[in-house]
Amino acid sequence: MDLSTAHVLVTGGGTGIGRATAELLARRGARVAISGRRADVLERAARELSDAAGATVVPIQGDVTREADAARMVAAARDALGGYDTLVNNAGVGAFAPLLDVTAGDMRRLWETNVLGATLMARESARVFVPQRRGHIVNVASTAGRRASAGASAYASTKYALTGLTEVWRTELRQHGIRVMQVNPSEVITPFFESAGLGGARENPTKLHPEDIAHVIASMLALDDRGFVTEASVWATNPVN
C-alpha cells in the first residue's frame, strides 16, 4: 500500500511501540489516529507526535475491552481521518509470575485486553473493510506467543491465542482483499516493563527499541497490496539479561 494515502488507527498509541508506529506512519504521510484508555497520556502524545511528524495525529480515548468503545473508536477514526483502512492492533498489558502465584485477576485482565480487546477492534474494523473490499490489520503479538518462557502463563497464553486469531481472521478476510498480518517483538524497551512489574529490565541497552518494531510494521504495510508478509518475528541480536 501507499503509506501516504493510508488512514490508520493505532491502539495503545500513547506510549511504546504504538506511539513509535504512529509517528513513523505520520512522517510517511499517513493520516493517523491513536487510541488509549488514559486521556491525559493520549492527548499529550498526540500533540507531541503532531509536532514531530508535521501532521495532525488524532487522539481517540476509549477502552478496547468495551464493545461500545471499540465501535465508537473505529467510527471516530473513520470520520476524523476522512476514511479508514488500517488497524494496528497494538493495545496490550502484561503480568508475569510463576504458576504457583498466578492470579485469576491477572489472567482475566490480560485476556480481556490482549485477546478480547484485539478481537473487538478487529471485528469493528472488518465491518468497515469488508464492504470497501480493502483493509489491513496488523496484530502486535509477541515472541512469547511462539516460544514461551517460565513465569509467563498469563502473558504467553494471550499471545498464543492472538496468533491463532490472526490465522483465523486471515483465512476469513483474504477473499475480501484484506491483509491480516502479525508482528512478534521480543523484549522492547518501553513502559510495558514497569507496568508488568519487571522494573529495571527496560533499561537494558541490548534490547530492542520501539522504533525497531515500528519500522517492521511500516515495511509490512508498505508492500504492494498484491502480496503480504503474514508474520514477522523480531529478536534482539545479542541480548544480555
Query: What is the CA 20 to chain-centroid distance, rounded?
Result: 11
Between CA 141 and CA 163 the distance in angstroms is 7
- State the CB neighbour count (10 A cutoff) for residue 145: 24
- Beta-carbon contacts of residue 234 (< 8 Å; ≥ 6 apart): 143, 183, 184, 185, 186, 208, 212, 213, 216
The CA angle 104-110-112, to the nearest 5 degrees, is 95
Q: What are phi and psi for residue 97, nearest 5 degrees?
A: -165, 150
The residue annotated as part of the active site, out of 84, 129, 155, 192, is 155
Instruction: Assess whether 160 carries a catalytic annotation.
Output: no
Alpha carbon distances (Å) from 181 to 75, 132, 145: 22, 19, 14
Q: List active site positions.
A: 155
